[in-house]
């Protein structure tokens, strides 16, 4: 599922490096190199491959050094919740998902709503949502939206790392000059990736519920059609 570490994360890191080079003016110098500069083409290619290898290694290390739980805490600033922590409460309060009927949800999860405690409600909801998720974790639709959620989360973390490295190089090592344009780009990327992660998190939670409700409804319809007894969720 996390094949994006070999693709999207690396391209994202390289793209940001090019942005930093562009605003620093170094990218323009590289692009204007010609034969008169007597630059060894083999050397340039070798250095490019070397830089790509370093970036690839750092992407893997930075993505692996933090656990998923720590990433989640950082991305949600320590106050966020797991995808299923409020799913049943939100569905009960608001019927705005076109993939399932509100009445079907209330019937399908009647026991969950009846037994919902006042304390530790979020843990209770997440535990029951996770049980449902485990039934559909191999479904392509679920895997796709879960991958998108994890990708957006890791892109946010990667952007945060890039910001930290950028400031360390400038203020700690004295390498380069602070470019407000580059800083603005990084801040925008932080906001966009964080918003995207939150939206994909909601989509992930609702996709699991949508699949489960529709399957239960199909089973109940089949039981009713064939007049079978004892058919239940």
**Contact of 59 with 212, CB cutoff 8 Å:** no
Q: Which residues contact 217 (CB under 8 A, 6 or more apart)?
A: 104, 108
165: left (phi over 0), alpha (psi -120 to 50) or beta: alpha
Q: pLDDT tens per residue, the chain (233 residues)?
A: 666 666 777 778 777 777 766 765 555 555 555 554 545 555 554 555 555 556 556 666 777 788 888 888 888 887 767 778 889 999 988 878 888 888 888 888 999 999 999 888 999 999 999 999 999 999 999 999 999 999 899 889 888 887 887 777 666 665 555 667 778 888 899 999 999 999 999 999 999 999 999 887 766 555 544 454 444 44
pTM summary value:
0.75
**Cβ neighbours of 183 (radius 10 Å):** 15
For residue 59, the model assigns a pLDDT of 64
Could you tell me the CA-to-CA distances from 21 to 141, 160, 170 in Å, in that order?
39, 18, 13
Radius of gyration of the chain (CA): 24
Chain Cα centroid distance, residue 3? 13
**Cβ neighbours of 154 (radius 10 Å):** 25
Tokens 């830089």: give the residue. Answer: 51
Could you tell me the CA-to-CA distances from 205 to 94, 103, 146, 171 in Å, in that order?
15, 18, 9, 42
Among positive and negative, which fits the CA dihedral 133, 141, 76, 119?
negative
């Amino acid at each position: 599922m996390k094949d994006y570490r070999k693709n999207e994360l690396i391209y994202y890191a390289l793209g940001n490096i090019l942005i930093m080079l562009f605003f620093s003016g170094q990218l323009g110098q590289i692009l204007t190199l010609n034969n008169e500069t007597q630059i060894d083409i083999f050397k340039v290619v070798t250095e490019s491959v070397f830089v790509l290898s370093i970036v690839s290694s750092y992407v893997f290390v930075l993505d692996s050094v933090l656990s998923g739980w720590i990433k989640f805490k950082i991305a949600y600033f320590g106050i966020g919740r797991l995808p299923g922590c409020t799913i049943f409460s939100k569905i009960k309060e608001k019927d705005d998902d076109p993939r399932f009927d509100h009445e079907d949800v209330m019937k399908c999860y009647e026991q969950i709503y009846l037994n919902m405690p006042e304390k530790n409600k979020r843990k209770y909801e997440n535990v029951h949502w996770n049980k449902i998720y485990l039934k559909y974790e191999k479904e392509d639709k679920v895997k796709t939206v879960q991958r998108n959620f994890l990708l957006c989360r890791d892109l946010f973390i990667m952007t945060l790392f890039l910001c930290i490295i950028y400031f360390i190089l400038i203020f700690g090592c004295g390498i380069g000059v602070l470019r407000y344009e580059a800083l603005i780009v990084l801040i925008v990327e932080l906001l966009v990736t964080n918003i995207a992660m939150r939206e994909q998190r909601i989509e992930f939670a609702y996709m699991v519920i949508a699949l489960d409700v529709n399957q239960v409804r199909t089973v109940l319809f089949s039981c009713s059609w064939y007049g079978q007894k004892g058919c239940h969720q």
